[in-house]
Amino acid sequence: MENKKVKSKRVENKSDLKLIKEGYITVIAGPCAIESWEQLDAIAKVVKDLGLSFLRGGAYKPRTSPYSFQGLKEEGLKYLKKINAKYGLKTVTEVTDTENVDIIADSVDILQIGTRNMSNFALLEKVGKVANEKNKKVILKRGWASSIKEWLLAVEYITLRGNTEVVLCERGIRTFETDTRFTLDLSAVPVIKKLSKLPIIVDPSHAVGQSDLVIPMSRAAIAVGADGLIVEAHSNPSQALCDGQQSLNAKELAELVRQLKNIASVIGKKIR
């Protein structure tokens, strides 16, 4: 019985779509928060039609204010499963607590650990264990007040539990600058390339906090050597319940992909 289970897992392994692939830039796009089936379905269709393979969407939202929308939680996970079945898109969502890691791992392909939890070591250990058991990939965002060294030590809480399919994500750090939400530390990309074998992606959306700055910083991230991007996109950003001001609409997302294709070709890569 046990053997049979392990065997079927291995088959799933082989057919798995890798989060990061040699020669490609992975673009993960989707809403900050899942708000309804219709909202998620509309943006998933856009993502699919652009030829991308990964959809992001928060079901459990760790908000700075307890009065802000906290996410649809289990209902949101159901929608992510449905999206995967409908479009074949791989799904990314954030784990916020040791209590929700198992249910999230049963619903999506990639577990994201957010900036606020980079140093939540109990959560990192739990994610490492569950991701290893359930063959899930992990994205570890950089804490907004964490050094690169602290980030690289944090990631070992995950990899020591056996899961080495971890991707780091630079999402901006806190500085004295106030014209952007955070300061995107793009030098982290070549530094990580020097210090670690792990892939690194960039989240320009949370770093800059304004949609019109997302495309330029995405171009820079690719040029500096990032393995991918995670960007917020919404079919109707002005109505978004979370982070609408920094979300690309469908047209802007298409423009991002168009521009990235040009840059990628210069550095011998393709967009996926």
Cβ–Cβ under 8 Å, residues 174 and 165? no
To Mn ion, the closest distance from the beta carbon of 95 in angstroms equals 15
Closer residue to ligand PEP (CB): 32 or 124? 32
Q: If binding is defined by CB under 6 A, does position 114 make contact with ligand PEP?
A: yes
Element (H, E) at 169: strand 166-170
In sequence order, the β-bridge partners of residue 270 are 24
State the number of binding residues for Mn ion (CB under 5 A): 2
Closer residue to ligand PEP (CB): 119 or 263? 119
Q: If binding is defined by CB under 6 A, does position 173 make contact with ligand PEP?
A: no
Half-sphere exposure of 156 (CA within 13 A, CB side): 7
In sequence order, the β-bridge partners of residue 55 are 29, 91
Binding partner of residue 173 among ligand PEP, Mn ion, none, CB cut-off 5 to 8 Å per kind: none
Of 25, 28, 29, 32, the residue at the interface with Mn ion (CB under 5 A) is: 32
**What phi, psi does 16 have (nearest 5°)?**
-60, 140
| Residues numbered 66-95 forming contacts with ligand PEP, rule: CB under 6 A | 94
Cβ neighbours around 194 below 10 Å, total: 8
Of 58, 128, 199, 204, the residue at the interface with ligand PEP (CB under 6 A) is: 58
15-34 in b/e form (b: 16+ CB < 10 A) is: eeeebbbeebbbbbbbbbbb
Closer residue to Mn ion (CB): 68 or 265? 68
Closer residue to ligand PEP (CB): 171 or 269? 171
To ligand PEP, the closest distance from the beta carbon of 126 in angstroms equals 17
